[in-house]
Homo-oligomer: A and B are copies of this chain.
Amino acid sequence: MSIEIKISLNNGLYLKEPQDSKLGRKIIQYSIILIDEFGFEAFTFKKLAEKINSTEASIYRYFENKHILLLFLVNWYWEWVNYLIRINTINVDDPKKKLEIIIHSFVSASQENPSVDYVNESKLHNIVISEGGKAYHTKEVDTENSKGFFSSYKQLATTVSQVISQINSDFKYPFTLATNLFEMSNNNIYFARHLPRLTDITVEKDNVKEVENMLNYFANKLLS
């Protein structure tokens, strides 16, 4: 026996709930592995089908197309970070301490005792870092937004913005700072790995301590 958490997502993100069947969970599990390995552009349902010994048609019964699948994964990640923040800030009253926990969740959600066996949180974090922006940088962003496909990100931004306002109620840009801390975290990890001349920080292996320090410094300075 074990405690299971199931992250529930906007039901427009799938045609059939993938978390409720064996095949569905395999689609999630191996899409993460393949997108991480080949990148989103080179990832296809055909390759995924081969990998899991299934067929393209079967995958299409779960997800409309690979873009919606990416949205599903990115939403899963946003919900996961939301969840981590919630449980790790229980009984924490000091908003400054809360923001530290939030920042810690941003940089290393991947290392937080993974509890869903079909999701490799570390690889999923890498996907969010490398491909996450593609989830909302499309021509369909407005229709998708109206269907609620970004509500988990908004929820995250709202939670963080509230903590920011608790720290400094005069601060004029709580949402901007909230999303920026998240984007900056992913961006600077990416830059450190691939375009190091665009950042000051270094990331060795999965040691993101420098990013965490940097984000804390920015947040403290801006809210002082």
Contacts of A141 in B (CB 8 A): 194-195
- Whether the pair B139, A133 counts as a contact (CB closer than 8 A) is no
- Whether the pair A154, B195 counts as a contact (CB closer than 8 A) is yes
- Whether the pair A175, B199 counts as a contact (CB closer than 8 A) is yes
Query: How many monomers of this chain does the complex have?
Result: 2
List which A96-138 residues lie within 8 A (CB) of chain B.
Answer: 130-131, 133-134, 136-138
A218 in the interface, Cβ–Cβ < 8 Å?
Answer: yes
A4 in the interface, Cβ–Cβ < 8 Å?
Answer: no
- Whether the pair B173, A180 counts as a contact (CB closer than 8 A) is no
A80 in the interface, Cβ–Cβ < 8 Å?
Answer: no
List which A137-192 residues lie within 8 A (CB) of chain B.
Answer: 137-139, 141-142, 145, 150, 153-154, 157-158, 172-176, 179-180, 183-184, 187-188, 190-191
Give the nearest-CB partner of A223 in chain B: B221
A110 to chain B, nearest CB (A): 18
- Whether the pair A198, B153 counts as a contact (CB closer than 8 A) is yes
- Whether the pair A198, B175 counts as a contact (CB closer than 8 A) is yes
Bound state CA distance, A133 and B191, in angstroms?
Answer: 12
Contacts of A131 in B (CB 8 A): 137
Contacting residue for A175 out of B38, B153, B197, CB 8 A? B197
A15 in the interface, Cβ–Cβ < 8 Å?
Answer: no
Q: A41-B138, A154-B195 are in contact. List 9 more A-B contacts (CB 8 A).
A: A133-B134, A141-B194, A145-B195, A153-B198, A173-B200, A173-B218, A176-B188, A176-B199, A183-B187
A-B contact pairs, 6 of them (CB 8 A): A41-B138, A134-B134, A145-B195, A175-B200, A176-B214, A221-B222
